[in-house]
């Protein structure tokens, strides 16, 4: 959807959607910082609580989802620049990253291989159709790249791709650090690589709450996996066309 289509119903509708999203986000972020709150509320990622609140607002008020979505479509234009902003920790820790280049390369290879093979294996076990598996292959890649990979694979199920990316990101964001801590993994390099390779941008944003070094390695492996996955998708699409 281009900007002309987004603003076709008027600026007021778009601005209302944008402001509603920003207000709910700020509210949920403030709640997330209150570590003293009970019932584990502060541990829930703000994107989940925010999504629930906005859904309730749409359901319980005259606001229609189609109208709210206009503002959401406008916000999507800032997703690529926000992803590029993750380059800052990469620059800050460039020397340390270069010293651990081999480890990052290994993490990238293992992560992409495990992600693809696990989805293929699950598809085979549960008898999923190939068209259903394709969009889920990019579940551990950041959303803009995942959508392009789905297009390269000529899959019409872009929505399924977005859902799988969101599910992977939310799972890692909510449980990632807990699982790693339970497993005795405390090194910032290892934690960052694990979070970035499994839960992409959402996991990387979570790493910022713990350590800049974690965020740097998480952002690095996120970018590496995105590039590697895109190349594999192009090769896979080429092989399919030849066959």
Distance, in Å, from the CA atom of 21 to the CA atom of 50, rounded to the nearest integer, reads: 8
Strand residue runs (E) in the chain = none
Give every CB contact of residue 170 below 8 A, 6+ residues apart in sequence: 45, 47, 48, 199, 202
**First and final C-alpha spacing in the chain:** 34
Domain range annotation of the chain: 3-77, 87-242
Distance, in Å, from the CA atom of 100 to the CA atom of 96, rounded to the nearest integer, reads: 7
Distance, in Å, from the CA atom of 63 to the CA atom of 221, rounded to the nearest integer, reads: 40
8 DSSP 8-state letter: G
The pTM of the whole model exceeds 0.75? no
From first to last of its 243 residues, the chain has per-residue pLDDT tens of 544 454 555 566 667 777 788 888 888 777 766 654 444 555 666 777 788 888 888 888 777 777 777 766 667 777 677 667 766 766 777 787 788 888 888 888 888 888 778 777 877 787 777 667 766 667 777 777 777 777 777 776 777 777 878 888 888 888 888 888 888 888 888 888 888 888 887 888 788 778 888 888 888 888 888 888 777 777 776 766 665
Give every CB contact of residue 75 below 8 A, 6+ residues apart in sequence: 17, 18, 21
The model's pLDDT over 99-149, given as tens digits with 9 standing for 90+, comes to 888 888 888 888 888 877 877 787 778 777 766 776 666 777 777 777 777
Task: Taking the CA atoms of 118, 178, 191 and 139 in sequence, report the sign of the dihedral they define.
Answer: positive
**Exposed e or buried b per residue across 49-73, where buried means at least 16 C-beta atoms within 10 angstroms of its C-beta:** bbeebbeeebeeeebeeebbbbbbb
Position 24 scores a pLDDT of: 84
């Amino acid at each position: 959807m281009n900007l002309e289509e987004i603003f076709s119903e008027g600026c007021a509708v778009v601005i209302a959607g944008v402001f509603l999203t920003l207000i709910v986000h700020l509210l949920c972020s403030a709640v997330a910082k209150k570590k003293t709150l009970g019932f584990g509320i502060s541990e829930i990622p703000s994107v989940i609580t925010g999504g629930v609140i906005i859904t309730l607002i749409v359901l319980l008020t005259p606001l229609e989802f189609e109208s709210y979505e206009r503002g959401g479509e406008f916000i999507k234009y800032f997703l690529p620049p926000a992803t590029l902003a993750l380059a800052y920790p990469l620059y800050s820790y460039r020397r340390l990253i270069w010293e651990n280049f081999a480890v990052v390369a290994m993490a990238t290879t293992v992560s992409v291989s495990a992600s693809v093979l696990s989805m293929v294996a699950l598809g085979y076990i549960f008898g999923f159709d190939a068209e259903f598996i394709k969009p889920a292959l990019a579940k551990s890649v950041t959303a803009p790249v995942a959508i392009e990979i789905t297009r390269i694979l000529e899959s019409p199920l872009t929505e399924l791709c977005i859902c799988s990316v969101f599910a992977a990101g939310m799972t890692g964001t909510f449980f990632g650090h807990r699982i790693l801590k339970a497993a005795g993994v405390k090194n910032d390099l290892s934690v960052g690589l694990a979070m970035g390779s499994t839960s992409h941008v959402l996991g990387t944003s979570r790493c910022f709450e713990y350590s800049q070094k974690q965020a740097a390695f998480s952002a690095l492996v996120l970018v590496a996996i995105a590039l590697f996955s895109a190349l594999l998708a192009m090769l896979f699409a080429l092989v399919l066309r030849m066959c």
